[in-house]
Structure 1
């Protein structure tokens, strides 16, 4: 648990001396009757503790003068009867030892102990205005401290949003995080390969989804990182399609956007391939255009380069291809730059080329340098992890060659910024035309 303690120390060092931070985990959410949705901890809370039980709160007290920083975990008490029904609980004593916090107390004592911890604190850090229940609790704690003012006790007079500090910490992944993300990428890449082997005309989209989920779980991943997209034929032109119930037809493509979550960290991969194992000439033309755009994006990723550079590189390749193929009518725009300025590509490519990735599939961290007045795109740095996912989506429309109608293609990989460029974490998922055609339909 060394990394978690080090993260708590780094956070405490950024706080005002003597300040207090309060960070709860996620609540359990009822699904219906007496059933809950599968529980998943809060990412921020887990980042600082490694603790996955619900009904838990971390309190961090920053050092001041000779007093060192302290970390205090509030969690459920041991309960033999509930453990018979729901499984093991650490309880405060075992949690303190296992997770390296300085103190641990029953969650039932949170409201009685917090006013003492906040008494004479210089400031309070928490996720301001993000959780109505927490806001109400904070108000109650502050009121309790103020009620003791006649005895010389003061309540915090400054309130700071805790999350921006944690966002910046989470944006740079350490070696342990990158190892987990590499493993998640390998599991997900192999799951995509399994789905390719299983594919054939006449299957429903959900049959391929089942192959993905099986491969995720049998390799130890706890969840899909998000609802899988298995979109065949015209469904591939719907960016967030996830009904996954269409019968796949001979001669069409299927786009699969799916990744697992492993020990709290997400992967995010998209592959597009022919259901029958052979690209048509039109499909191959658009597929190789998207692949070239992704290669251009990879080449634009390096420390010190602006985040926006890889999107701009991919976009230039895509728009040139759209002009060459007549998707953007010839003569309406003299150059790629003219077409981009006029947003002529938007009917066919309407999203960015990537996003941060980490504990959340759309991970935390600003995309712009918020310290600058004009807020330019922030420079990349080693340890940042992002997706690279250019695409092209051609719906039936006047002036567009009919052979491209209903073709939707996206190719997405996860990369980590390195000292001299980037490294792909998801190379286990096949994407070269020859690889795909040799694999599709060969049997899972």
Structure 2
């Protein structure tokens, strides 16, 4: 199947769900360009929902779908051709070529959107849109609806219901198709190669930003368009800051370096964390805690399979982590006691997994939608083939008088991306070592 056929098939799936809900008009905007400072914009990245349905990468665009009981049509609004602007900003498809190339039924200039939307909404039962996602877009929708309601005297009715189109698309995006899995597999390979490069480059006396540069170079050299998120390159005590961003400290002999960094490829994210010794050799205390985290990840991966709940890998990881904390004197008492009291959260304060896909913290509910109960009372989502989640346990020990000195300022996290398969899961990021002995051997080489 061609890539554009894949996007057209997704639009048909959306149309089928809209039809089940009575039909209507869906409106999905791409992301706006955002100014960084003065005349400079941030690098442009499209909206994930819009790209999922269209494959179209230009700014100033919207997808409109009209669906009734018998038919559906897709309409793209995009920028017009403009030779002068193309000299400055690059080539544009224009409506006609975009319609032909991306398989839409119709296409119009983006500037015609406000003019045409009232007629498209007229006499339709519902509007499917991103409710509350953007105040400016909400105001625009109100303007369109007001224009329709103004025609009530001539028998034209406005949509009587508003339905969150993102909620429908969240369920679609949660389970990846073969094309998505292939792109994410390649993204994982690129990110793994970058981590291997970083391990080989690291030496005491270097700075965190030098290692970040090695990562970014490898991402781009291998064809990735962006980092999937801001890279975390955290040496020593900086690794105990979960979302450390400065990447400016000098790396010291005897410390660990935690790197949480990965690329985005063709709209899909990867997500890897590795922790390794700056000198190339783990101390006894570092190795002890590292092996606990690695065992916790192995326990979580074993529980990542169809029929497990989303929370099962987390529970498996936490039990191993808590036992390790007790064994090495970070906690006292029993495993069950620490789990019940939550005392382990001093050293492990985040969850083990999140969804992964077009966004690094991807869409989709973590509890079963439509199940009885509210909030935490709803059962956890059951894992199914095609879902992708991270597996990322950790231990973070800040210096404190009540803790063994050898464990002070050690932060360890090990993270991989897991695609749920029929028989278990496939680790998409296995190309970078994580066993302590393998890491030491790589760094010696």
Normalising to structure 1: TM-score of the pair?
Answer: 0.97
Q: Which residue of 1 aligns with 2:345?
A: 346
Q: Match of 1:7, SS?
A: helix
Cα offset for 1:432?
Answer: 1.4
Q: 1:297: which partner in 2?
A: 300
Counterpart Cα distance in 2 of 1:312 and 1:159: 38
Structure 1 gaps, min length 5: none
What is residue 61 of structure 2 aligned with on the other side? 56
Aligned mate of 1:284, from 287, 290, 300: 287
Q: 2:433 aligns with which of 399, 407, 430?
A: 430
Q: Does the 8 A contact of 1:221 with 1:262 survive in 2?
A: yes
Match of 1:40 among 23, 30, 45: 45
Paired position in structure 1 for 2:311: 308
Match of 1:204? Answer: 207
Name 1:368's counterpart in structure 2: 367
Counterpart-to-counterpart distance in 2, 1:163 and 1:370: 14
**Cα shift at 1:441:** 6.1
Paired residues in the alignment total: 436
Q: Which residue of 2 aligns with 1:359?
A: 358
Aligned to 1:136: 139
Structure 1, residues 75-105: CA drift from partner, whole Å, max 9, x if none?
Answer: 0000000111111100000000111111110
Distance 1:344 1:182 in 2: 37
| Whole-angstrom CA distance in 1 between matches of 2:401 and 2:198 | 35
Q: Distance in 2 between matches of 1:214 and 1:239?
A: 24
Partners of 1:246 and 1:18 lie apart in 2 by 56
Q: Which residue of 1 aligns with 2:229?
A: 226
Q: How does 1:164-243 map to 2 (within 5 A)?
A: 164-243=167-246
Instruction: Write out per-residue CA displacement over residues 41-68 of structure 1, whole angstroms, 9 at most, x where no aligned residue.
Output: 0000000000010000000111324xx1
| 1:22 and 2:27 aligned | yes
Counterparts of 1:239 and 1:158, CA distance in 2: 42
Unaligned 5+ runs, structure 2: none
Q: Among residues 399, 405, 408, which one is paired with 1:405 in the alignment?
A: 408
Q: Residue 274 of structure 1 corresponds to which residue in structure 2? A: 277
Contact 1:276-1:441 at 8 Å conserved across structures:
no
**3-state DSSP of counterpart to 1:97:** helix
Helix, strand or coil for the counterpart of 2:346? coil
SS in 1 for 2:11: helix
Instruction: State whether residues 76 and 106 of structure 1, in contact with CA within 8 Å, keep that contact through their aligned partners in structure 2.
Output: yes
2:86 corresponds to: 83
- CA deviations 1:377-421 (Å, max 9, x no partner) are 110000000000000001112321110001100000000001111
What secondary structure does 1:345 align onto? helix
Contact 1:199 1:441 in 2 (8 A): no
**1:393 alignment counterpart:** 396
Distance 1:11 1:223 in 2: 28
Q: Check whether the contact 1:71–1:102 (CA below 8 A) recurs between aligned residues.
A: yes
Equivalent position SS for 1:380:
coil
In the TM superposition, residue 292 of structure 1 has moved relative to its aligned partner by 0.3
When the two chains are superposed, the root-mean-square deviation of aligned CA atoms in Å is 0.9
- Contact 1:198–1:441 (CA under 8 A) maintained in structure 2: no
Listed one character per residue, the Cα deviations across residues 257-281 of structure 1 (whole Å, up to 9, x for unaligned) are 0000000000000000000100011
- 1:17 CA drift (Å): 3.9
Shift of 1:429: 1.4
> Could you tell me how far apart the structure 1 residues matched to 2:443 and 2:411 are?
18
Counterparts of 1:427 and 1:304 in 2: how far apart (Å)?
A: 23
More moved, 396-405 vs 158-167: 396-405
How far apart are the structure 1 equivalents of 2:22 and 2:284?
A: 66
Aligned equivalents of 1:42 and 1:429: distance in 2? 30
